[in-house]
Amino acid sequence: MDSAGVIAACIQAASRDMGLPVPSREEASHIIGLGLRQALETLFPDLPEDKHQPLADHYRRHFLGQDAEIPLFEGARELIVDLRDQGHLLAVATGKARRGLDRAFEHTGLKPLFHASRTADETFSKPHPAMIEELLDELMIAPERALMIGDTTHDLEMARNAGIASLAAGYGAHPPEGLTEHGALVVCHSFAELAAWLRDNA
C-alpha cells in the first residue's frame, strides 16, 4: 500500500496535537515499520511515560480517519495473485497492530491471498527477527527459501537478523540511498521494477 506519506503526516499531526516539536517528513518516515510504541519512543526519547499513550491515541485518530482511502500500488493486487497462483506462500510481517492489519486486509480484500501474518503487538518489533522466524516455522519454510520485501531499513535488518534474503522497495518509506547498505539483493526504484524482478527471479 502507498501509505508512507499518510503515516508521516499523521505522526506530524499527532505531535502538533500534543504540543511537541513537529518532526520533518524525513524524521517521521524513518520510524515507519516499527511498532507504534517503539516508533514514538524513538522519535521522542525524552517524552514522559504518561504522554506515550495520548500521543499514540492522537496518531491513531488521525490515521483511522483516512486509512480506508490508502491505495494499493498500481499492479500490486495482480502481482500478489500471480505469486499465489504460482504456488508461493505469502506472509505479512508488519509494524502495525493486529487490529490495524485486519483493517488493511478488510479495506483491500487481500486477506484470502496471504497464508500467514505477524504484527508488532503479537511478538517482538522489527528489526528483531522473531516475526520472520515465527512465520517460517508456521509455514514450514527453510530460511534459504524465503525472501523479505521491505521499504525500510528496519525490514532489511530484520531479514538479515533472521538469515534470509531481502529485496528493497526503494519507492516507499525510506529513501533508496539509505537501503543500499543493508544487504538487499537489489533496490527497486518503482513497484513496476519490483514486480518485474519477482516475475523473473522468484
Alpha carbon distance 156, 41 (integer Å): 21
Closest CA to 202 of 78, 84, 27, 98: 84
Cβ atoms within 10 Å of 77's Cβ, excluding its own:
14
pTM confidence score = 0.86
Query: Helix 76-85 to helix 191-201 angle, to the nearest 10 degrees?
Result: 10
What pLDDT is recorded for position 202? 81
What pLDDT is recorded for position 67? 82
What pLDDT is recorded for position 129? 98
Angle in degrees, CA 47, 50, 56, rounded to 5: 75
What pLDDT is recorded for position 13? 95
Give just the sign of the alpha carbon dihedral 159, 30, 125, 57: negative
Alpha carbon distance 66, 64 (integer Å): 5
All three cell numbers of 107, joined, read: 479495506
**93, HSE (Cβ side, Cα atoms, 13 Å):** 31
Q: Which residues pair with 118 in a beta bridge?
A: 93
76-201 is classed CATH 3.20.20.70: no
What pLDDT is recorded for position 45? 92
Phi, psi of 181 (to 5 degrees): -95, 10
What pLDDT is recorded for position 90? 98
4-68 is classed CATH 1.10.150: yes
Domain coordinates of the chain in residue numbers? 4-68, 76-201
Closest CA to 172 of 57, 94, 62, 83: 94
E-strand ranges in the chain read 91-94, 116-119, 147-150, 165-169, 187-188
Flag residues of the chain having pLDDT under 50: none
